[in-house]
Structure 1
Amino acid sequence: MIQEPPQEINLPGSGINFCQINGFFHEYIMSQPKEDNMVFALGRDNQSQQYTGRHLTIRSNWDRSRLFEIIDFSRLRSLTVFGEWRSFFISKKMQMLRVLDLEDTTSDVSDEDVEQIVDIMSRLKFLSLRGCTTVSRLPTSLGNLKQLETLDVRHTSITMLPETITKLQKLQYIRAGSTVPSTESQSIQPGSYRLPKFRRHQFISAHLGVKVPRGVGKLTGLDTLGVVNVAASGGNAFLKEVENLIQLRKLAVSGINRQNIAVLVSAISVHRDWDSLSMRLDKDEKGALCCVNDISEPQEILLKSLKIHGDVDNFPAWMKLFLSSEKLDLEVTILTQEMIDTLARGHFKCLRLCVKPTEDGEHNFSIDHTSGFYFLRTLEIDCSSTFLLAFGERAPDRLEVLKVHSSSGTQISGLANLEGLQLVWLIGSCDNALKQDVERQLAQHPNEIKPVLRLENVSSPQLAEHPNEIEPVVNLEEVSSTQVAEHPNDI
């Protein structure tokens, strides 16, 4: 029944895995809910006369001019919209709705639409406006959604949450924050490539936080909170409230600086079982970098995943707090060899290093003569500048996936020293010299089963404009550029 999907769907080292169902069983699984009047979908190929059920999906290819009033909403519990949004999708008959997912709808969802949604659908448990960039505020009536458990307003224009949100005692997940403009995160370059919707945003990790009201510490059921702009949310007063969130497992904050870092460390030290912490660091008014030197008797913090965006003062002191983390995502302006050696002492299984471009435009990374990186399985380096990555004789022997966002002039050496290597993944503009050199090294690899080279071109503007909900990915391992160029289709 369960089959492996095409190669471009599953991403080794990303922690995201997908599968697909055999065609016969897929049809059976899809038919049963329809027969039981559970699920129905509106689309171009929809031949069914069924207009009632508990779960409705509006597909992007459904003709928006068709009558919507003939649908029976009395049993409807969830609504998912793909493609263009229309205000008439909101009906007063949807009072029993529990789930509303409008993620990445391609037309304007207005603030008035959101206000109407909140007024009508008072029993919502899940509300996602993710990617609805035209939404700029949430209504004060949001406090009436007493059953709400998940609120996702990431990648919108919302900069603050209403004070009434503190009334929602059942809230478990608050996900907010707008994407940082590409000028502030050039190495990520979110506008330069497109990926399938379900994994597009994982590469756009830096966010601008939102302002949250006082009293957020009353939401003791919160599991996930972020991204919060600490400076705009009361600074240390907000961080003190974090101590009251006893069930919190994932926290993302921006506006962390030299004045509030000690209070943040103290707040998260109260909690022993953290899954994820994300921090966006800023300089203080005098231009000083964020520093943990002033923290008295700092204790090591146990984390599964840590993200640090921004430069720090005294990097070894920072890492002393977080060396037990399993996953580290670090974005800095300059990555030095001293920082690499410090990271080698950690317990990281997954390490992602994002280096911003500098004026000289050249970096050298050497992983050699160290007994560290014992646990490292996945290493990702995202650097838009020219760099040299060298693995010495004592390189990590458990490293399985090496992912490099390459640019012209990039060099990689010593791949034969990586005993556990299974995949080298080059993303971006890869010149022939790098491709041929990596192919040569992998062909000469001492393992009987040679590592695989995957080349992914992520800079195609045609793919960015593709009409499909799941957009294509160019994988140069599977299709040649000549075949693409000679294809009869315009796109």
Structure 2
Amino acid sequence: MKEEANEEIWKYCGGLPLAIVTMDGLVACNPTKNNDHWSKVCKSLFPEHVAPLTLEGVTRILDYCYTDLPADLKTCSLYLSIFPKGSKISKKRLTRRCISECFVAEKQGLSAEEVAETYFNQLISRKIIRPVDHSSNGKVKSFKVHDMILEYIVSKSSEENFITVVGGHWLMPTPSNKVRRLSMQSSGSRHGNSTKGMNLSQVRSLTVFGSQNRRLPFESFNNGIIQVLDLEGWKGLTNKHLIDICKMLALKYLSLRRTEVSEIPSKIEKLQYLETLDIRETNVEVLPKGFGQLKQLRSMLGGNKNTRKALKLPHEKNKEPMKALRILSGIEIDEDSSAVASLHQLTGLRKLAIYKLSKREGGQTFTQLRSAIEYLCSCGLQTLTINDEGSDFINSLDTMSAPPRYIIGLELSGKMEKAPEWIKDLNNLYKLTLSVTVLQTRTFQLIQDLPKLFTLTFTLSAAKDDRDIVVLEENKQLTDREIIIPPGGFKSLKLLRFFATMVPRLSFAVTGKEVMLALERIDMRFEAFEGIYGIETLKSLQEVHLSVGNQADEITKFLVEDLKDTPKYLDKKYADKWPKIITE
């Protein structure tokens, strides 16, 4: 963006932040336009050139920015009106829904997911959405829409009969046409939440917000055309409703996340167009036999990552492979070998997350599982998560005949004795999470030359077994009670995290040598803490976040306070370089 255009826009916008940010995004996304063009635009938008900028002037800016959007981005922008004012929106939730509604499709050799990523980034660049949370890999995880921008989008969406909002913050007129996409928001709204008088026979998408009980007008829908059913968090859902849902034969996106449903009927096999099934954080414990008949399914999301509650696969081998499946997350592997045998068929899988392994060491099932993982990795698996609290399977991964060369995200939790040696050969690895039981100097030495490693996490298993502490104590004995981060290497590492009951003494100080040159942030969550030394040598470090548990002893609290107070005792030139210490 050119400096002259910046100054002119600032002048016309009268210093109003929303106007400046929105125009700034417009200019940034039109780099070929010269200053004369932007001068004419400003004069057309602000003919009176008065300060401060009026509400009408802001609306003119939003109108111009909306008109400037390519057709695909206009559709994606209008789709944001589904979500309530002030809500934090999941990026994956938005993109999966857009794909299911065919607003995003494969283009120029890019997959639908890759195209959705480019659209999402353009919405950020144009300042239509604002990132809120980032994943540990640095990518945007959730976002918000400015209230005034969302109000404009909702109004525009209503005008075009694109989305109908019932309840919530906005007072919208009852649509005279048939409702195509229905967003039912909080019943506490002073604007009411009734669909009375609406023609719901053409509803293609239904989204419900709010956890309160409420009756949904299922009988008014045409089951043959509904493509998106997003009931996340709706406490009124029962197993009985699922019988009706299984009649919605055109359904592509079904989210029952955080509902109280406990069983998925076998009739779900009738949903032959289903692409996303989200039953995370529900009471569903096993998938029905009909699950294997969902030939278009791309994302199967189950279990609970925080509690490691997992979902059992059907105890039968599929007659035909689920070739479209890309994500299988939150599953449990037990002694049944037929479920494991089905994994070999999922050659299109890009993410596999196993939250639970049954407690039985050795045997044919685990041999088959290791074989399946190795085979899937050779077929292009990119993200692998294994949480093994109840068996010794995780320690057998070192015997794999070849490293999983396509892996970009790896999470291995449980009673690990040492990290697999093949990790050092994962040149595409971006994100690595390891059990805190391998928090050792030699582990850092093993992975220090990974060229793309962005995030490194050492974490405690969900079970919080005392054995983790025992193993850590054994490790400290082997390393003279201190873990030394080796110099050199870690050229791309930005985020280093330790989530454990006890974090032993960590040292970054190596005389005359540079350590973790790119590291920007350290996160630590613990009950006991033995100190962190040499952080002043980390040239790019900006923040250290320390979360101290309720059971922390006085020594731990003293060390944390001492770390915070250190800049007080340093010369100013050194104190200014000290990272920001944030405690929780």
Please indicate the TM-score interval, normalised by the length of the shorter structure: 0.7 to 0.9
CA 1:434–1:56 in 2, change beyond 3 Å: closer, same or farther? same
CA 1:313–1:437 in 2, change beyond 3 Å: closer, same or farther? closer
45-54 or 136-145: which moved more? 45-54
1:298 aligns with 2:402: yes
> Hey, what does 2:295 align to over in structure 1?
169
Structure 2 regions of 5+ residues with no counterpart? 1-21, 23-125, 550-555
> 1:133-172 counterparts in 2 under 5 A?
134-172=260-298
User: Is the partner of 1:303 in helix, strand or coil?
Assistant: coil
**Equivalent of 1:76 in 174, 199, 203:** 203
The 2-side partners of 1:288 and 1:276 are apart by 18
Letter in 1 for 2:378: V
CA 1:390–1:314 in 2, change beyond 3 Å: closer, same or farther? closer
CA 1:5–1:91 in 2, change beyond 3 Å: closer, same or farther? closer
**Equivalent of 2:167 in 43, 60, 65:** 43
> Hey, what does 1:241 align to over in structure 2?
342
Instruction: List per-residue Cα deviations over 1:106-128 (Å, max 9, x = no partner).
Output: x2522112222223x22211001
RMSD over aligned Cα, in angstroms?
Answer: 3.6
CA contact (8 A) 1:407 1:428 kept: yes
The 2-side partners of 1:110 and 1:323 are apart by 47
CA 1:332–1:433 in 2, change beyond 3 Å: closer, same or farther? closer
The 2-side partners of 1:314 and 1:331 are apart by 9
1:440 aligns with 2:440: no
1:326 aligns with 2:430: yes
> Hey, what does 1:27 align to over in structure 2?
151
> 1:332-481 counterparts in 2 under 5 A?
332-333=436-437, 335-347=439-451, 348-355=453-460, 356=464, 358=468, 366-393=483-510, 394-407=514-527, 409=529, 411-429=531-549, 431=557, 433-435=559-561, 437-438=563-564, 440=566, 450=577, 453=580, 455=582, 457=584
> Hey, what does 1:111 align to over in structure 2?
239
218-227 or 15-24: which moved more? 15-24
Q: Report the structure, 1 or 2, having the larger strand content.
A: 1
Kindly state the Cα deviation for residue 335 of structure 1 after the two structures are TM-superposed.
Answer: 2.6
> 1:228-267 counterparts in 2 under 5 A?
228-231=331-334, 234-235=336-337, 237-253=338-354, 254-255=356-357, 258=362, 259-260=366-367, 261-267=369-375
Q: Report the structure, 1 or 2, having the larger helix content.
A: 2
**Equivalent of 1:222 in 325, 341, 346:** 325
Give the TM-score normalised by the residue count of structure 2. 0.64
User: Is the partner of 1:279 in helix, strand or coil?
Assistant: strand
CA 1:380–1:299 in 2, change beyond 3 Å: closer, same or farther? closer
Kindly state the Cα deviation for residue 439 of structure 1 after the two structures are TM-superposed.
Answer: 5.7
> Hey, what does 1:196 align to over in structure 2?
none
The 1-side partners of 2:214 and 2:143 are apart by 35
Instruction: List per-residue Cα deviations over 1:221-248 (Å, max 9, x = no partner).
Output: 111112232325x43x444433332322
User: Is the partner of 1:88 in helix, strand or coil?
Assistant: coil
Kindly state the Cα deviation for residue 377 of structure 1 after the two structures are TM-superposed.
Answer: 1.7
410-419 or 30-39: which moved more? 410-419
> 1:310-321 counterparts in 2 under 5 A?
310-317=414-421, 319-320=423-424
User: Is the partner of 1:241 in helix, strand or coil?
Assistant: helix
**Equivalent of 2:384 in 277, 300, 303:** 277
CA 1:411–1:293 in 2, change beyond 3 Å: closer, same or farther? closer
User: Is the partner of 1:381 in helix, strand or coil?
Assistant: strand
Kindly state the Cα deviation for residue 323 of structure 1 after the two structures are TM-superposed.
Answer: 6.4
User: Is the partner of 1:437 in helix, strand or coil?
Assistant: helix
Kindly state the Cα deviation for residue 46 of structure 1 after the two structures are TM-superposed.
Answer: 4.2
> Hey, what does 1:89 align to over in structure 2?
216
> Hey, what does 1:126 align to over in structure 2?
253
Kindly state the Cα deviation for residue 346 of structure 1 after the two structures are TM-superposed.
Answer: 3.4
Larger radius of gyration: 2
Instruction: List per-residue Cα deviations over 1:141-186 (Å, max 9, x = no partner).
Output: 11111211110111111111111122222111111124564xxxxx
CA contact (8 A) 2:211 2:233 kept: no
Give the TM-score normalised by the residue count of structure 1. 0.74
CA 1:46–1:266 in 2, change beyond 3 Å: closer, same or farther? closer
Kindly state the Cα deviation for residue 305 of structure 1 after the two structures are TM-superposed.
Answer: 0.4
CA 1:66–1:345 in 2, change beyond 3 Å: closer, same or farther? closer
CA 1:264–1:109 in 2, change beyond 3 Å: closer, same or farther? same
> Hey, what does 2:231 align to over in structure 1?
102
Identical pairs, percent: 21
> Hey, what does 2:56 align to over in structure 1?
none
CA 1:350–1:216 in 2, change beyond 3 Å: closer, same or farther? farther
Kindly state the Cα deviation for residue 70 of structure 1 after the two structures are TM-superposed.
Answer: 3.0
CA contact (8 A) 1:379 1:399 kept: yes
Kindly state the Cα deviation for residue 255 of structure 1 after the two structures are TM-superposed.
Answer: 2.0
User: Is the partner of 2:158 in helix, strand or coil?
Assistant: helix
CA contact (8 A) 1:281 1:290 kept: no
Structure 1 regions of 5+ residues with no counterpart? 182-205, 458-491
The 2-side partners of 1:11 and 1:453 are apart by 21
CA contact (8 A) 2:536 2:577 kept: no
CA contact (8 A) 1:341 1:370 kept: no
**Equivalent of 2:413 in 309, 319, 338:** 309
CA 1:4–1:63 in 2, change beyond 3 Å: closer, same or farther? closer
User: Is the partner of 2:246 in helix, strand or coil?
Assistant: helix
User: Is the partner of 1:312 in helix, strand or coil?
Assistant: coil
CA contact (8 A) 1:291 1:312 kept: no
Instruction: List per-residue Cα deviations over 1:352-396 (Å, max 9, x = no partner).
Output: 111356556877663434433233121111123253332123421
The 2-side partners of 1:13 and 1:291 are apart by 27
253-262 or 162-171: which moved more? 253-262
The 2-side partners of 1:33 and 1:249 are apart by 35
Query: May I ask how many residue pairs the two structures share in their alignment?
Result: 424
User: Is the partner of 2:547 in helix, strand or coil?
Assistant: strand
> Hey, what does 2:310 align to over in structure 1?
208
User: Is the partner of 2:296 in helix, strand or coil?
Assistant: coil
Letter in 2 for 1:329: T
206-215 or 217-226: which moved more? 206-215
User: Is the partner of 2:443 in helix, strand or coil?
Assistant: helix
The 2-side partners of 1:395 and 1:39 are apart by 53
Instruction: List per-residue Cα deviations over 1:64-110 (Å, max 9, x = no partner).
Output: 996444332123221111223546314122222211112223x2522
